[in-house]
Structure 1
Amino acid sequence: MGSHQDSTRDDSPHSLPTPATAAGRAGLDAFLADPGRAVVVLDFDGTLAPIVPDPDQARAHPDAVPALAALAPKVASVAVLTGRPAEVAVHHGGFAGVPGLDHLVVLGHYGAERWDAATGTLATPAPHPGVAAVRAELPGLLKRTGAAARGTWTEDKGHAVAVHTRRAPDPHAAFEALRAPLADLARRHGLIVEPGRMVLELRPPGMDKGAALRSYAHSLDAACVLFAGDDLGDLPAYAAVDTLRAEGTPGLLVCSASDEVTELRKRADVEVPGPAGVVALLAALAHRLA
């Protein structure tokens, strides 16, 4: 299994880590050998942007846009794959109008939306009717369970609704107490519940990062795929990279490590210390390909 402790790297500027797995080493070799057909897919919150108590205040790491602008022209595409609405990620990331980012695509709502930097256009589908029903019932449910008084709050994502417990006096207890009632609410309206870092998101089935990553990689006939994520919602993308590997497309799995979620560490080829580490990795790749 991959872990930061198993990886080796030197401390010189722009050094690249040595992946801890054979599949990861093959993925990195393939990336460097044919960057023009390599696809880079990145989660946003926790990967490009530090986790903050209020998601509305999340912003990309200050070195993220320069690193992306340096790398994007050297690869087939860079995509930000997020559960947020695409326009929100574009705004919080500062991705619009940046020279060198013409190849950037933001796949919002787990791939249901697409924003292209080259044209500035946004493609988005109609929302699932169950989301509106959940949005209407959620305040009453939170009041009945006492969650509203315990510091939880909701985030309307358009195509999904999220309940955050990070501000509660006991975030973990509030999270666990809400699992069953939110799962019941989601089932009644044809939705699923996706757990994350002190957040439970109610969204339509079939919206996941794995399906979006596979579709995007196939659309570009990618020769290699690098994916970086940090949370449970990124595990489907990890599985998609494993499937692509089994089909003959090399891949590299990067974990933006945190103490809140450890599952990705067990699956990753490379572990880096949060968004700062992800940005440093992107900059090192751009430097190596320069």
Structure 2
Amino acid sequence: MGSHSVQPPIPTPTTPAGREGLDAILARPDRAVIALDFDGTLADIVPDPERARAHPGAVEALAALAPKVASVAVITGRPAGVAVRYGGFAGVPGLDHLVVLGHYGAERWDAATGTVNAPAPHPGVAAVRAELPGVLHEFDSWHGTWIEEKGQAVAVHTRRADDPQAAFETLRGPLGELAARHGLILEPGRQVLELRPPGMDKGVALATYVAEVDAESVLYAGDDLGDLAAFATVEKLRGAGPDGIPGLLVCSGSAEVPELAERADLLVPGPAAVVDFLAALADRL
């Protein structure tokens, strides 16, 4: 995917608002924010989340794109440091101004400093962590489920259960009650249920960052229910009258999360296609 290769054309968004967003990015790339989810967008979804890695070519495409735009930000539910490690984002020429907003924006890693800024963990997370094994045992959901420690949050994955969707549905209510009891919220995703502190989501993180950069256009790409808040932020920004900011919403993979696909301006069939799109955009700029 070097600069000498011929890139395919940029796919055309299917909505007028999406086409306006893409046009604004192409017209003034130096004022555009490119914001991307990690899992399912830059990295393929895998049965064991600890084995997730950025798709081959993702870092190269981002490094080609980043110097041409105002900023590239990765907004993820993962801890910022984990996303940096799994993405291979540290010390990459061209990505010296990359920002990773982890835990839905509660944590921040800046490539410029190589450091993570994070708040103290919510006390409810430790309480939930202690009670989780008992809840999984009570609902006979221990076999095949997997608890992911995220520092600022804790997640239960059902992807490896005999019937992943049945396990997901069985646990959704009880884990929601457990979260509420300790002042947390339940964030459902693709065969994962995350218990995390309230008050921060990808929409808040994106809105804050777009304002910080003083962007004139924004692209957001995601694949899961947690990305709906970021989609809503882009919709709100571009609906804000004369002071609005044009935006482009990209959905990576459309089969598992129709709620996201229905609101996207552009559907691409997964991380490989997201990487191709980013490379084509970099080539065009």
Q: TM-score range by the shorter chain?
A: over 0.9
The match for 1:253 among 249, 252, 255 is 249
Distance in 2, Cα, partners of 1:122 & 1:182: 29
Aligned to 2:106: 112
Structure 1 residue 276 corresponds to structure 2 residue 272:
yes
Task: Give the TM-score taking structure 1 as reference length.
Answer: 0.94
Aligned to 2:142: 148
Contact 1:59 1:92 in 2 (8 A): yes
SS in 1 for 2:34: strand
Contact 2:248 2:265 in 1 (8 A): yes
Aligned to 1:262: 258
TM-fit CA distance, 1:258: 4.0
Distance in 1, Cα, partners of 2:115 & 2:255: 37
SS in 1 for 2:160: coil
| Equivalence map 1:59-74=2 (5 Å) | 59-74=53-68
The match for 1:244 among 237, 241, 253 is 237
- Match for 1:223: what amino acid? E
Aligned to 1:16: 10
Structure 1 residue 182 corresponds to structure 2 residue 175:
yes
The Cα offsets for residues 218-246 of structure 1, whole Å up to 9 and x where unpaired, read as 01111000000000110000000001101
Contact 1:14 1:287 in 2 (8 A): no
The Cα offsets for residues 189-239 of structure 1, whole Å up to 9 and x where unpaired, read as 011101100000001111210000000000111100000000011000000
Aligned to 2:90: 96
Distance in 2, Cα, partners of 1:15 & 1:45: 25
Distance in 1, Cα, partners of 2:126 & 2:8: 47
| Equivalence map 1:206-245=2 (5 Å) | 206-245=199-238
- Match for 1:208: what amino acid? D
Question: How big is the alpha-carbon RMSD for the aligned residues of Structure 1 and Structure 2?
Answer: 0.9
SS in 1 for 2:262: helix
TM-fit CA distance, 1:264: 1.2
- Match for 1:242: what amino acid? E
Deviates most, 44-53 or 115-124 = 115-124
SS in 2 for 1:252: strand
Aligned length: 277
Aligned to 1:191: 184
Distance in 1, Cα, partners of 2:89 & 2:66: 12
- Structure 2 gaps of 5+ residues are 1-5
| Equivalence map 1:153-168=2 (5 Å) | 153-168=146-161
TM-fit CA distance, 1:14: 2.9
The match for 2:33 among 14, 33, 39 is 39
Contact 2:224 2:257 in 1 (8 A): yes
Contact 2:7 2:279 in 1 (8 A): no
- Structure 1 gaps of 5+ residues are 1-11
SS in 2 for 1:51: coil
The Cα offsets for residues 20-68 of structure 1, whole Å up to 9 and x where unpaired, read as 0000010000000100010000000000000000000000001000000
Identity %: 73
SS in 2 for 1:53: coil
Contact 1:76 1:103 in 2 (8 A): no
The Cα offsets for residues 70-114 of structure 1, whole Å up to 9 and x where unpaired, read as 000000000000000000000000000100001210000000111
Distance in 2, Cα, partners of 1:164 & 1:134: 15
